[in-house]
Amino acid sequence: INVLTLLAIVLATGLVVDDGIVVTENIFKKVEEGYSPFEAAIKGSNEIFFAVISISITLAAVFLPVVFLEGFVGRLFREFGIVIGGAVLISAFVSLTLTPMLNAYLMKKTGHKKSKFYNMTEPYFVKLNEGYSSNLNKFLNKRWLSFPIILVCIGLIVLFWKLLPKETAPYDDRSAVNLNISTPEGSSFVYTDRFLMALTKEINDSIPEKRVMITVTSPGFSGSGAANTGFLRMGLTDPGEREKTQKEVADKITKLTKKYSEGKTVVTQQPTISVGRRGGLPVSYIIQAQNFDQLREKIPLFMDEIGKDPTFTVSDVNLKFNKPEINLSIDRDKAKNLGVSIVDVAQSLQLGLSGQRFSYFFMNGKQYQVIGQFDRSDRSDPLDLSSIYV
């Protein structure tokens, strides 16, 4: 049970009771014609049996195909389609089995006294029924109009399909814009921070709609991001206090960031429904190959074609072959003679270079992380590895 299944139950309430009302009304009509409740239940339900079945199957055929949708939309609305489609089918079964039986035993043949409310409202329903019958007869006399009406409806559907924007989760103006930045692989924290500060100054001078900005250059502690990444979170003034929309501000920032070659910037807006997009990018491609060598060859070609397409303002790939790394070879014989295991060597490197978070401590009302890592001056050069003691 979740919000969508509960929503499906609420929406299905009208559909569920509709079948029972139609069956009960027809049975009551038969009782008024002089049949006994038992006979009325049989005749009344038989008359509209196929009507109830056809309506229920039609409704179920609308909602049940949602079960076969794939991707995010399928995961989101699968339970919704199952619940509302199943409720409609169960309603049809109950309306044609339990409802006639209850009417046969609970409905009285005589003694149906008309209430004042019935006497007051019945003339209006009689006029409504007569007006509907009159208009229906007029339309049936001009049956040829049905084809132009169908063509006009199809044309309007095609027109609206092309004109109306299509988005699974449209963006709301929440007065917030996020920027995720990344510098070339292997860039230092200082280089990334300098780029982020320059970008912040440019935005601060060019975007009058800003209200507050928060910048974080990620040092790579405990997997929170590499040293060449960072983000900027910008709050905008209220929509009524600015002329530009959130989307227009985001588009302007995107144009501003394109002139910086020091790094790549992805401008994102918070979606109404989070769909797990990586870095907020709305389009994702999956490239598969037999081995890494083929990926190393094809990915740059694919990224070049993406860069030539004006449809995409920014592109990124999560498999990078230019990330710098150092391969260490351990003298196992020497380590064995000194009584040092390979695990000890690996743990020493991890404690000194990985930036692992051990704990937290509080000071002056603020929480700080306890990070196990050498000072920056002791780990800025590959030769510093020779000074690490196990």
Distance CA 326, CA 177 (A): 37
Decide if 351 is inside a domain. Answer: yes
Q: Are 299 and 315 in contact (CB under 8 A)?
A: no
Question: Is 248 among the domain residues?
Answer: yes
Q: Are residues 12 and 105 in the same domain?
A: yes
Quick check: 323 and 185 in contact, CB under 8 A?
Answer: yes
Task: Give domain status of residue 11, yes or no.
Answer: yes
Average pLDDT over residues 53-77: 84
Helix (H) or strand (E) holding 182: strand 176-182
> pLDDT tens across 189-233, in order?
788 888 889 888 888 888 888 887 777 776 544 444 577 888 888
The arithmetic mean of pLDDT across residues 23-46, rounded, is 88
Domain assignment present for residue 73? The answer is yes
Range of the domain at 368: 332-387
Looking at residue 273, its pLDDT comes to 65
From 269, 302, 321, the end of a domain falls on 269
Q: What's the whole-number mean pLDDT along residues 124-137?
A: 93
User: Tokens in use for 77?
Assistant: 């609305």
Q: What are 235's strand-pairing partners?
A: 176, 212
What CATH code is carried by the domain that includes residue 260?
Answer: 3.30.70.1430
CATH number of the domain within which 336 lies = 3.30.2090.10
Q: How far apart are CA 142 and CA 182, in angstroms?
A: 68
Assign 279 a pLDDT band (cuts: 50, 70, 90): very low
Based on the number of CB atoms within 10 Å of its own CB, is 137 exposed (0-12), middle (13-18) or buried (19 or more)?
exposed
Kindly tell me if the per-residue pLDDT of 186 is higher than 80: no
pLDDT of amino acid 155 = 96
Give pLDDT, residue 380.
Answer: 75
User: Is 106 in the same domain as 7?
Assistant: yes
Helix (H, G, I), strand (E, B) or coil at 165: coil
Name the residue among 19, 1, 168 with its Cα closest to residue 83. Answer: 1
Identify which of 45-54, 267-276, 324-333 has the greatest average pLDDT.
Answer: 45-54
Cβ proximity of 229 and 180 under 8 Å: yes
- Locate tokens 């800025």: which residue? 380
Domain count, the chain: 3
- Boundary of a domain, candidates 61, 93, 112: 112
Looking at the domain assignment, is residue 362 inside a domain? yes
Indicate if the pLDDT at residue 278 is higher than 90.
Answer: no
Q: Is residue 295 part of a domain?
A: no
Q: What pLDDT does 152 receive?
A: 96
Residue 282 phi, psi dihedral angles, 5° rounding: -80, -20
Phi and psi of 358, rounded to 5°? Answer: -95, -40
Distance, CA of 381 to CA of 384 (rounded, Å): 6
Distance CA 103, CA 17 (A): 15
Tell me, yes or no, whether 262 and 340 share the same domain.
no
| Closest residue by Cα to residue 384 from 331, 227, 191, 375 | 375
In 3-state terms, what secondary structure has residue 108?
A: coil
| Of the residues 269, 296, 318, the one at which a domain ends | 269
pTM of the model: 0.57
Model confidence over 224-262: pLDDT tens digits? 457 788 888 888 888 888 888 888 898 898 888 888 888
Number of H helices, E strands in the chain: 11, 6
Indicate whether 306 belongs to any domain: no
Among positive and negative, which fits the CA dihedral 264, 236, 311, 201?
negative
For residues 380, 381, 387, 389, the Cα torsion angle rounded to the nearest 10 degrees is 60
**Both 98 and 7 in a single domain?**
yes
pLDDT band at 111 (very low <50, low <70, confident <90, very high): low
DSSP conformational letter for 258: T
Quote the mean pLDDT of the chain.
Answer: 84
Report the sign of the C-alpha dihedral through residues 367, 369, 370, 375, in that order.
negative
Chain centroid to CA 140: how far?
46
Task: Please report, in angstroms and rounded to a whole number, the separation of the first and last CA atoms in the chain.
Answer: 55
Phi and psi dihedrals of 264, rounded to 5?
A: -110, 140
Residue among 50, 75, 49 at smallest CA distance from 276: 75
Q: Report the range out of 126-130, 143-147, 279-283 with the highest average pLDDT.
A: 126-130
Residue 257 falls within a domain, yes or no? yes
Q: Residue type for 22, please? A: V
Do 96 and 185 lie in one domain? The reply is no
In terms of phi and psi (left: phi > 0; alpha: psi -120 to 50; beta: otherwise), the region of 107 is beta
CATH number reported for the structural domain that contains residue 51 in this entry: 1.20.1640.10
